[in-house]
Structure 1
Amino acid sequence: MENTALDRGTEWLARGGLRPTRQRLSLASLLVGDGLNRHVTAESLFALSVESGDRVSLATVYNTLRAFCSAGLMNEVVVDGSKSYFDTRMDDHPHFYWEDTAELTDAPKDQLEISGLPDAPEGTEISRVDVVIRLKRT
């Protein structure tokens, strides 16, 4: 039997130790219900929820995305210091940011080579390195 979007959303929330409230289930089903990884903004996820007929406020979408990140289910990728994308793919990988469409997509991980990171200040450790490659069409 194939998992439904709701089943996938429920399992995903359980992996993060989150209680499956109606709003969380609705948004989780939109994010992982088809089994694919995606990059969303709060606004784009809100639009998807409206299209699906769910009643979830934009503030709830923001709060829920933050809860998903805190639970280790998503990563936040900040572009331009003011625009955040939320990524359901959790392994370390670079991103392309398409300036003309404001879209974030995965970049080939096997083609990126990082060498020579600076030492972390005393009493800290590097938790991750985000790489966003900005693209402009010619």
Structure 2
Amino acid sequence: MTAQIPPEARQSAIDLSTAWLSQAGLRPTRQRVNLATLLVGDGQDRHVTAETLYDASRMSADPVSLATVYNTLKAFCDAGVLREITVDGSKSYFDTNLTDHPHFYWEDSGTLTDAPAEELELARVPDAPAGMEIAKVDVVIRLRAK
């Protein structure tokens, strides 16, 4: 789900998105600002796939191509303003919340949401092999109806 910005709040959302890009050292191109506005324009954290962001873009005043969505999401991840969470080794979600936290993956709807970090306890993770370091640990808890 992406931000639905009311017309009267659009300029404020664009300003917030432009600042988000600038703080990451990304040039605020028209396409990046459009996608950033859909992602963070309302100040809320969210999880999106390239396809859901593309669909939201198609409904916006300034749509972009699916290829541009993929390229922009990669640039946002490379700049450190988005975090990619992979489910099933093939489906990627992009999270605007960069804090360490676990996720629920809802199998029935194919959605990803934050899980309460304060309820997760990891006693230990394996040591990294020689010459390697742990870059991150993603915890995805899969849910399905009983």
- Please tell me the TM-score bracket, short chain as reference: over 0.9
How many Å separate the matches in 1 of 2:40 and 2:84?
16
* Separation in structure 2 between the aligned mates of residue 23 and residue 126 of structure 1, nearest angstrom: 33
Give per-residue Cα distances to partners, 1:41-91, cap 9 Å, x unaligned. Answer: 000000001111322000000000000000000000000111000000000
- In structure 1, C-alpha distance between the alignment counterparts of 2:138 and 2:42, rounded to whole Å: 26
1:131 aligns with 2:142: no
**Pair 1:90 & 2:98 matched:** yes
Q: Does 1:9 align with 2:13?
A: no
Select 1:79's aligned residue among 70, 81, 87. 87
* SS of the residue 1:4 aligns to: helix
Q: CA deviation at 1:123?
A: 1.7
Q: Aligned partners of 1:77 and 1:5: how far apart in 2?
A: 25
TM-score, normalised to structure 1, is 0.96
Q: Which runs of 5+ in 2 are unaligned?
A: 1-8
Which of 66, 73, 87 is the matching residue for 2:74? 66
Aligned-residue RMSD, C-alpha: 1.2
TM-score (norm 2): 0.91
Runs of 4+ in structure 1 off by over 2 angstroms are none
How far did 1:128 drift? 1.1
- In the alignment, the residues of structure 2 paired with residue 99 and residue 122 of structure 1 have an alpha-carbon distance, to the nearest angstrom, of 36
- Count, aligned residues: 137
Partner of 2:3: none
| Counterpart residue number, 1:119 | 127
Q: Which runs of 5+ in 1 are unaligned?
A: none
